[in-house]
Homo-oligomer: A and B are copies of this chain.
Amino acid sequence: MRADARRNRELIVEAALDRFAVSGPAASMEEIARAAGLGVGTLYRHFPDRRALVEEIAGRSLRCLRTGLRSLAEQDVPRRDVIARYVGYCAGQPLALIKALAEENEAPEERLELQDELNGLLEALARQAQEEGTVRGDISPREVVELLSVVVCRPGARADDALTRVALDGLRA
């Protein structure tokens, strides 16, 4: 039953993402459990409270971004292109929704650490891009990161939509 339970956990997370997307971040626990084809009790066995479910989703998202960014950073291309590819990578994910969800909870330690780690990686990347001369130097690496966060956490963000292109062009040295 370990396998079953794991499967149910996945079902819950998927259902949650789905219901949050459709009904908004206020979707009820009951609604999510039903959408997963389970009882509320099962949802609560896997996640002791709403906060825990939301943090699971936020945590997965952050870890996924971190993983993606790490592997992009290994590529032997200009740092500027790594940034662009990262933006594209993000575009495939419902980051706007997840961000809205996460704002319900005050960020717990675990999330802060992931957040910091991700931001650290991105800042390093921004700094290197500035050093290689492909990103303008008149804004701080931290500002670059904030900017990317806005670009990427929009509903419907795409790798090649107008804002993305304008922002990346605007970042040019």
Contact = CB atoms under 8 A, between A and B. Distances in A.
A166 B140 CA distance: 12
Tell me if A's interface is mostly helix, strand, loop or mixed: helix
B170 A143 contact: no
Interface residues of A, number: 21
A167 B165 contact: no
A146 B162 CA distance: 9
A144 interface: yes
Contact of A165 (B24, B139, B163): B139
A166 B154 contact: no
A127 to B, nearest CB: 14
A38 B88 CA distance: 50
Nearest to A147: B163
Given A150-B150, A150-B154, A154-B150, A171 B163 contact: no
Interface of A: 24, 103, 136, 139-140, 143-144, 146-147, 150, 154, 161-163, 165-171
Nearest to A157: B150
A165 B136 CA distance: 11
29 contacts: A24-B103, A136-B166, A139-B162, A139-B165, A139-B166, A140-B162, A143-B161, A143-B162, A143-B163, A144-B162, A146-B163, A147-B162, A147-B163, A147-B166, A150-B150, A150-B154, A150-B163, A163-B167, A165-B170, A166-B167, A166-B170, A166-B171, A167-B167, A167-B170, A168-B170, A169-B169, A169-B170, A170-B170, A170-B171
